[in-house]
Chains A and B, each alone.
Chain A
Amino acid sequence: MKVALVGNQNAGKTTLFNSLTGMNQVVGNWPGVTIERKEGVIKGTNITIVDLPGIYSLSPYTSEEEVSRRYVLDEKPDLIVNIIDSTSLERSLYLTTQLLELDCNVIIAMNMIDIMDSKGVKIDVKKLSEQLKTTIVSISALKKLGIDELIQKIKNNDVIENPHQKIYSESVEGALKFIDDYHSDHHLSRFELVKVFERDIAFQVLDDENIRRYISEVEEKEGMDSEQIIANQRYNFIDKVRQASVKIAKPESTLTDKIDKIVLNKWLAIPIFVAIMALVYLFSVGLIGGLTSDLISGFFNGMDSIELFDHVIPLEFVGLGPWLAEKILYAGGSSWAASLVQNGIVTGVGAVLTFVPQLLALFFSLALLETTGYMSRISFFFDRLFKKIGLSGKSLIPFIVGAGCSVSGIMSARTIESEREKKMTIILTPFIPCSAKLPLIALFSSAFFGDLAWLVTLSLYLFSIVMIVIGALILKKIFNTPAATTYISELPDYHAPSIHYVGRIVGDRTGDFIKRAGSIIFICSLVIWFLASFTYKMQYVDGVNYLIKDSLLANIGNSLAWFFYPMLGGNWSWEASVSAIQGLIAKEQVISSMNVIAGLSDSSMSASSIFATSAFSFFTPFTAYAYVTFNLFSIPCVSAISAMRSELPSRKDFVIAIVFEIVIAWTLSSFIGFIGWAVM
């Protein structure tokens, strides 16, 4: 048995889905978190629950809403659970009136009964059920109230049979009957009849001269067009239902309104936004990063002291890599086996794991922003600015989600209504430094800018915002299609972040990062170590007879180094070139590769910095900034590239995206590199 979860955006479908199935899908507090359908099974049964993106009506407006409509209309679920937000009942019921016209039974799950009282809403469920002629279960998905009752009803199919109540005026009902009789040869659902009456293009096949004439007559009688008639009468019906069963004492001013007065204040809004973002990076990169990164890299590579709040504390530790290498040599292993473990695996994977605490802090801060409801405000007040440059306020959500991972950022662009705004958002989302780029940024800024590292990190984020604006203006010219753009959204109420959900989001994302370190980064480190340790005649680079500059990796790097020559301030560096190229596999791989090369090229490498080694000693603050810039704005990793390919409408757009990003990245970084060249 298949059960579809249908409801408005931000009504709590995914929270209910998780409660029903015990699964862990990501939830948030903004409209449009779910963009694809997800299936799960109610524990101990064979009932499949399908979670669908939120919709306001069965006439879809954006591509992710189309997913829901398709499913409900084409795949014909056995039962629909219509989840409605009891605190905005009227709008929720509009979709209900449409669902009740399908040939399918509907259970209404009335959600958020726990906050109903505080909003002054009183609903007489029995009366409401009588009016709508369908089953209603009161639930709170968040507090897990009423879930068992709902499961029982679904399991036992304990549902009032859908009577297809006639809710329209006599003349409209007459028209529907006329259309039905006209097509008496095959059965049409009430929903299809209404669609024909509305002159919906998708149902044109059922149209006919006689039907059209009949519709026109009704339109004349009612004094408006058929679409308006239907919408009007649906809402009239809902009004009637509401008056009979709902009492709303509108509270004077809610807490949300009070917070919005400050957060959306004309003068305070932008300073508050900048302060919040600065705080996020000061906390994650500055504080947490400063405290932990030396310690962790010391654990992997050895250390003799650490610096804590300007105090040097002696702390000697031989390091996991050197310790393992010593054990291997002691056990009679060959020198290259020891090098493989120390310089390949431990250095490569360790370079990435160093940044786990910072990412944990970053994910935590972003998750707070997501679940409290602040995200929707940001998109609300940036819309005017973004509209000017050809984007939508809703583009901001992909950008902020993209600070975690570009792939999920690109996917969340689906909620944007206009095609052009969506395309531009998808292409520009990788400009936002994703969490995998953070290690690179943090490494370079702490090595070259010391205590100001967090400020430089923040500056790179602001730089990326500036580039999004410039990039948008360029893309607007390239796509040059006049777009009818709109922005329809909601401001969800603020609520305190649930520790449970924040914990899960942070856990999931950090888990993904560590998993990548253990899989992709692990394998790449092996490959890089191999390429850097052998010449093309398969002779081992031992540092005496054969040097690392003879290795396979150096040959590959040398063939690419011309591309990176300008941005490195006129330095021919195969090491930096070959590392940057690996950003295609995963952005963390850049620093992982740099660490492996540094370790191999300089055996006396000090644990503190790879920039003391001969391979990377040429970096100056300017070229460091240029190199980071290139990695920031260049094409993203393969998973994000394939996400772009599937989300962009055509191959041409995809090619434009790739070329655009490479050109921007190269031009910018070469420019910065040149300045450095001229200054030094």
Chain B
Amino acid sequence: MNEINNRKKYIDQESENGEAFSECGRGRNLRGKAFGHGRRFRNRGTRFPHHLKPGEEGHLSDLRRGQKCIVLNFHNDNKALRRRLLDMGITKGVEIEIKKTAPLGDPVDIYLRGYELCLRKADMHGIDIKVIK
């Protein structure tokens, strides 16, 4: 639990810095220019040593292919996007399965309510979930 909170704190800090989530995890040099690898590589690093196991909580974007989860809550600043996600059936308590991942790791194809939907990881980040598989 503690580790998840740390992770959330880290991400929240990054988003406060005005950085798009997809780029957080990049280093910055003195002039503030990004260097180093993007998020794709960072996930394999030491900061997130394992992927989420059943019973743990996290963000929808943390899951890997084949995993299933239940939606707990939203935290999303973009009102229009929030509305659209609700319209598409991503509501509290709905079950979501990660179906396919694009060859470059993003976007992701998810399965819910009997149909499939493609979303970007940055948008999935705003959805809190609990892993069930």
Contacts and interface: CB of A to CB of B under 8 A. Distances in A.
Interface of A: 56-57, 59, 61, 87-91, 94, 224, 227-228, 231-232, 235, 248, 257, 260, 264-267, 269-270, 380-381, 383-385, 387, 393, 484, 486-491
B118 interface: yes
25 contacts: A56-B88, A88-B113, A88-B115, A228-B74, A228-B91, A228-B92, A231-B86, A232-B91, A232-B92, A232-B93, A235-B91, A264-B100, A264-B101, A269-B103, A380-B109, A381-B104, A383-B102, A383-B106, A384-B102, A384-B107, A387-B120, A487-B120, A488-B85, A488-B117, A488-B118
In the complex, which of the residues A57, A61, A87, A488 has the most CB atoms of chain B within 10 Å of its own CB atom? Answer: A488
Interface in B62-120: 74, 78, 80-89, 91-94, 100-107, 109, 113-120
Contacts of A270: 103
Interface in B36-69: none
B103 A484 contact: no
A491 B119 CA distance: 11
A380 B108 CA distance: 9
Contacts of B82: 227
Nearest to B94: A235
A228 B86 contact: yes
A385 B104 contact: yes
B14 interface: no
Contacts, number: 107
Contact of B120 (A94, A257, A486): A486
B87 A490 contact: no
Classify chain B: how many residues form its interface, as a range: 35 or more
B87 A59 contact: yes
A380 B107 contact: yes
Contacts of B91: 228, 231-232, 235
Given A385-B104, A487-B107, 16 more contacts: A61-B80, A227-B86, A228-B74, A228-B86, A235-B89, A235-B113, A260-B100, A264-B101, A264-B102, A380-B118, A384-B106, A387-B22, A486-B84, A486-B120, A488-B117, A491-B100
A381 B103 contact: yes
B25 to A, nearest CB: 15
Contacts of A484: 78, 81
SS class of chain B's interface: helix, strand, loop or mixed? mixed
Contacts of B85: 488
Nearest to B73: A224
A337 to B, nearest CB: 62
Contacts of B89: 90-91, 94, 235
Contacts of B87: 56-57, 59, 94, 231
Contacts of B101: 264
A91 B86 contact: no
A233 B94 CA distance: 12
The 6 A-B residue pairs with the shortest CB-CB distance in the complex, in nearest-first order: A88-B115, A269-B103, A231-B86, A57-B87, A384-B104, A90-B113
Nearest to B78: A484
B99 to A, nearest CB: 8
Contacts of B120: 383, 387, 486-487
Nearest to B106: A384
B28 to A, nearest CB: 18
Contacts of A227: 82-83, 86
Contacts of B115: 87-88, 90-91, 490
Contacts of B22: 387
B75 to A, nearest CB: 12
B133 to A, nearest CB: 15
